[in-house]
Amino acid sequence: MASALYNLTRASRARQLALPAIPVLLIAGCGALALQPELRLAVPMLTGVTALMALLLALALFCGERIPNPWSPRVILAVALLLRLMFLCAPPQLSDDIYRYLWDGSNLLRGVNPYAAAPALLTPPPALRTVHALINHPDYVTIYPPMAQLIFAGGAALGGSVTGLKAFLVLFDLGLCALLILLLQRLQLPVWLALLYAWNPLPVLEIAGSGHVDGAGLTLLMATFYLILDERDEAQPGPGRWSAFLAGALFACACLVKLFPLVLAPVLFLLTPASRRIPFGAGFLAALAALLVAFLPQLANITQSLDAYARNWEFAGFAFNTLRTFTGSGSVARLILSSGFALLVAGITVRLALDLRGNRTPAERGHLAITASYRIALALLLLTPTLQPWYALFLAAFLPFCAGPAGLVLCWVVFLTYQVQIPYFIRGAWIESGAVTAAVFLAPLAAYLVGKLLGRTGSARPA
């Protein structure tokens, strides 16, 4: 008996010691990466350090579930800010997408429609010559939707520099961290779970490091969830309808930053109370129309770029590569994957509709809807022919609500795909590894099976 009590006390002390150690070690890990002069030549170190950081997040989850209120919202946001500041002033190394962002945003500020012509067909002004030379795929008209263009313009207005644009995107990302805390409170979940995104190396490296716009879209998406789940308006039809209208408008904005959130439209429709669905739809259509009309008629040129992306782009897609080998046709493989994904979304949506029946509280409805969103995001990443590491941000935003092993592992294992940067940086040869592509697909599935055995599969759970 005494021995058992001693072991219990020792375990409790170890968990208490881990509370300050976890953020310190995460900061040290990011610091080590930030000090690297060229991350493309330090990919093995990158994957190793981020693996340790992912393990620290798992340890934080383990300790946090056994110690009441382990980290306050202020600590979570302060550490999140510090992690991002380390990479803010560094040049983007793992991706060059931000130069297209800066080109589009700067042109919009000059009154030039970014959809009017491909960069290769334009003569840049002196201030944009360096940026113009660094744009990837300059023969294509921009692929980014209208709301993304407004965000690019806002970032470009901060000095017309990469650092200014990254700072603007980091502000959105920190806003997302704060929104996750508020949404966790609304769903009656422990607020410290927000650290699974706020301290995750994926948003730190992909937004603060490379300056990807995905975090801004996710901020708008989470704001949509937050407004739909506003309990205070339940007894006030007027304010409730305006809240639903604003939620619909924010959802349209999220979809026009990156198109990924569109697949969650059925989930948000079911989550919205029946009396608010018309205002929600009206807000969505109004914002959608306003954003699209503002860039007409040149906006139609985006369809050529989107078509080229849908037909030809591929990267780290294990399911796609397997089906293409089996069928002998990339087009057939894409058709099978898109059909399979549509069926999965339909199945998840039907299950959600059945689960939402009955007299459920807004928090319970929110748990079920976010669980469905997590599953859809996970399926999308596993089935897409093109899986860039920053695409996993779509999944990472749901981790605080559905911290399943598969999601945690996938948000780390995508870093392995950066192995292509080593030969590309040295010799200009883009060489994918079949083993890495297989690992990115199989590791989350293996983690899911292990989690299933241990009873942890990533379902949202009440506090």
Q: Is 230 a domain residue?
A: yes
pLDDT band at 462 (very low <50, low <70, confident <90, very high): very low
Q: pLDDT by residue (tens digit) across 346-385? A: 999 999 999 998 888 889 999 999 999 999 999 999 999 9
All residues at 6 or more sequence positions from 209 whose CB lies less than 8 Å from its CB, including other chains: 39, 87, 90, 92, 93, 94
Q: Is 136 a domain residue?
A: no
**Cβ-contact 62, 234 below 8 angstroms:** no
Cα–Cα distance, 229 to 240 (Å, whole number): 10
pLDDT over threshold 50, residue 459: no
297: preceding bond cis by omega (within 30 degrees): yes
Q: pLDDT by residue (tens digit) across 149-159? A: 999 999 999 99
Confidence (pLDDT) at 454: 75
Q: Is 110 a domain residue?
A: no
Question: pTM for the complete prediction?
Answer: 0.93
pLDDT band at 70 (very low <50, low <70, confident <90, very high): confident
Looking at residue 137, the DSSP 8-state letter turns out to be S
Residue 69: which region, alpha, beta or left (left: phi > 0; alpha: psi -120 to 50)? left
Confidence (pLDDT) at 90: 92
Alpha carbon 238 to chain centroid distance?
Answer: 33
Q: Is 106 a domain residue?
A: no
All residues at 6 or more sequence positions from 22 whose CB lies less than 8 Å from its CB, including other chains: 56, 59, 60, 63
- Count: domains in the chain: 1
The stretch 223-250 carries a mean pLDDT of: 81
Residue 334: which region, alpha, beta or left (left: phi > 0; alpha: psi -120 to 50)? alpha
Pick from 4-18, 90-104, 230-244 the range whose average pLDDT is largest.
90-104
Q: Is 460 a domain residue?
A: no
Q: Which two tokens stand for residue 106?
A: 């700067």
pLDDT over threshold 80, residue 436: yes
Q: Which two tokens stand for residue 260?
A: 């990924």
Confidence (pLDDT) at 461: 46
pLDDT over threshold 80, residue 40: yes
pLDDT over threshold 70, residue 10: no
pLDDT over threshold 50, residue 5: no
Nearest one of 407, 389, 409, 387 to 398, comparing CA atoms? 407
H/E run at residue 77: helix 73-88
Nearest one of 197, 169, 163, 154 to 92, comparing CA atoms? 163
Q: pLDDT by residue (tens digit) across 117-127? A: 999 999 999 99
pLDDT over threshold 50, residue 8: no
Q: Is 103 a domain residue?
A: no
Q: What are phi and psi of 186, to 5 degrees?
A: -65, -30
Helix (H, G, I), strand (E, B) or coil at 315: strand
pLDDT band at 239 (very low <50, low <70, confident <90, very high): low
State which residues form the domain around 434: 2-95+162-454
Q: Is 134 a domain residue?
A: no
Nearest one of 175, 171, 197, 208 to 34, comparing CA atoms? 208
pLDDT over threshold 50, residue 255: yes
Q: pLDDT by residue (tens digit) across 174-229? A: 999 999 999 999 999 999 999 999 999 999 999 999 999 999 999 999 999 999 99
Q: Is 459 a domain residue?
A: no
pLDDT band at 161 (very low <50, low <70, confident <90, very high): very high
Helix (H, G, I), strand (E, B) or coil at 386: strand
Cα–Cα distance, 121 to 138 (Å, whole number): 8
